[in-house]
Amino acid sequence: MNTAPRLYAYAYAGTPFPAEDDGELFDLAQHLIRRPKDTMFVKVSGSSMVEKGINDGDILIVDRKAEPRPDNVVVALTEDGYTVKTYEREHGHLKLVPASPNHAPIEITENTRICGVATFAIHRLA
């Protein structure tokens, strides 16, 4: 038995579109997760990424096998613990850069481990 919720209509952010009566099955995981065995969920704590739309309490969907590229949001293990930052190359050096001017970038060292690339952020609207 499929327990996926039904998607009854697409909601357009422009002109309203007539709703259809018969909804299709909608598997949220199929749309959000490319590699289920290599995916982890991370709950965000802190405000260093708010300007990227990632808020305190959000849940990140993280692909552990994705190769990080500049401008990707990554989860990393540093000498000080786990962090969520933007992966950047600056003047030949790799850095973890916050999306808030209130926090400093972190230089990536041989002790830094990139745990994965965040592919989606889930947050409550109300």
69 lies in some domain: yes
- Domain range for 90: 33-122
70 lies in some domain: yes
Residue 46's CATH number: 2.10.109.10
pLDDT, one tens digit per residue, over 91-110 is 889 999 999 999 999 999 99
45 lies in some domain: yes
Nearest alpha carbon to residue 99 among 125, 69, 66, 74: 74
Residues whose CB is less than 8 angstroms from the CB of residue 34 and which lie 6 or more positions away in sequence, other chains included: 63, 119
27 lies in some domain: no
| CA-based torsion, 58, 112, 105, 66: positive or negative | negative
Clarify whether 37 is annotated catalytic: no
Among candidate residues 37, 45, 65, 85, the one labeled active-site is 85
Among candidate residues 47, 48, 65, 100, the one labeled active-site is 48
- Give the number of domains in the chain: 1
Clarify whether 48 is annotated catalytic: yes
pLDDT, one tens digit per residue, over 2-25 is 555 555 555 667 776 666 655 566
Placement of tokens 């739309």 in the chain = 53
> Is 0.85 topped by the overall pTM?
no
